[in-house]
Amino acid sequence: MITIKSKQEIRILREGGKILAEILAKIARQAKPGITTADLEKMACDLIGAAGGRPSFKGYQSLLDDKPFPTALCASINDEVVHAPAIPARTLEDGDIIGLDLGMEYPYKKNKNGYYTDMAVTLGVGKIDKEAAELIAVTRESLELAIKKIKPGNTINDIGRTVQQFAESKGFAVVRELVGHGVGYDVHEEPRVPNYEVPEKSPENAVLKPGMVIAVEPMVNRGGWKVKTGPDDFTILTADGSLSAHFEHTIAVTEDEYLVLTEL
């Protein structure tokens, strides 16, 4: 079921989303050669706790019998698309690209539910090559273009079609097995938000309505669109070993347009 958030709830989500954006920006500035993903994980946990939030990925299980996700931060390097735990520690090297994905429940109080926001950025570590820089730029721009399609009366396809057409026009491929999602009351909610076009009459092609809150997150590969799961059962990698980039914002549908909740 797709949930509709009240204006007051969206105000709280915006407050939490801005804090999350500030935290992720601080973490991103430290993603330099020689630092470890465990260093970035500690920073994420410390900053979220100090802000009055709770890391929403750490301990998360999509199903009751799933293995809990071990870290607050997803730190996906090079051919890792998403969901790479930050621990065990890995040292960042010059020329790497890293996707940093972070979610937060805010405000966090025992026995009282907060509200969830989610965002991701991909950046170069040190000096990266031209192809990696182009992949990052195209993925970022595909998200920016898709956000502009968010308004009441438009559909999920307006988002997915925009990402797919732009990425493919630049010679890249969008991941099909993973999609964006609703968010706010929980880490993952309906609707699914694909980064590609679905059949117009598909139930997935939901109409956007005021009060909907969605996480739009293009995942774009340098090579083919297929992915595989790594031996840790969490990390998703490109099937062909090509580079991948990931950007994400949490966005509310307003009465006439959209509000990006996870921007500074």
Q: What is the pLDDT of residue 219?
A: 99
Please state which of the four CATH numbers 2.60.40.3080, 3.40.50.2300, 3.30.565.10, 3.90.230.10 is assigned to the domain occupying 7-260.
3.90.230.10
Q: Facing residues of 124 across strands? A: 97
Residue 110 has pLDDT above 90, yes or no: no
Residue type, 178: L
CA distance 260 to 27: 20
Using pLDDT thresholds of 50, 70 and 90, give the confidence band for residue 111: confident
pLDDT at 63 over 90: no
List the chain domain ranges.
7-260
CA distance 218 to 140: 8
C-alpha span between 247 and 259 (Å, rounded): 17
Considering the chain, what is the average pLDDT of its residues?
Answer: 98
Instruction: Report the pLDDT averaged over residues 132-151.
Output: 98
Tell me what pLDDT residue 116 has: 98
- What is d(CA 225, CA 193) in angstroms, rounded to the nearest whole number? 17
Look up tokens 């009060």; give the residue.
211
Number of residues that make up the chain: 264
pLDDT digits (tens, 9 = 90+) for 4-35: 999 999 999 999 999 999 999 999 999 999 99
> Per the structure block, which two tokens stand in for 226?
């297929």
Q: What is the mean pLDDT of residues 46-57?
A: 98
| 203 class by beta-carbon count within 10 Å (0-12 exposed, 13-18 middle, 19+ buried) | exposed
Task: Tell me the DSSP string of 138-157.
Answer: HHHHHHHHHHTT-STT-BHH
Give pLDDT tens digits for 71-90: 999 999 999 999 999 999 99
Q: What is the pLDDT of residue 57?
A: 98
Q: What is the DSSP string of 180-243?
A: EEE-SSSSSEEEEE-SS---TTSTTSPBP-TT-EEEE--EEESS-S-EEE-TTSS-EEETT---
Tokens in use for 124?
Answer: 């170069």
Q: Tell me, what's the pLDDT at 76?
A: 99
Instruction: Name the band, by pLDDT with cuts 50, 70 and 90, for residue 234.
Output: very high
The 10s digit of each residue's pLDDT in 190-233 is 999 999 999 999 999 999 999 999 999 999 999 999 999 999 99
pTM of the complete model: 0.98
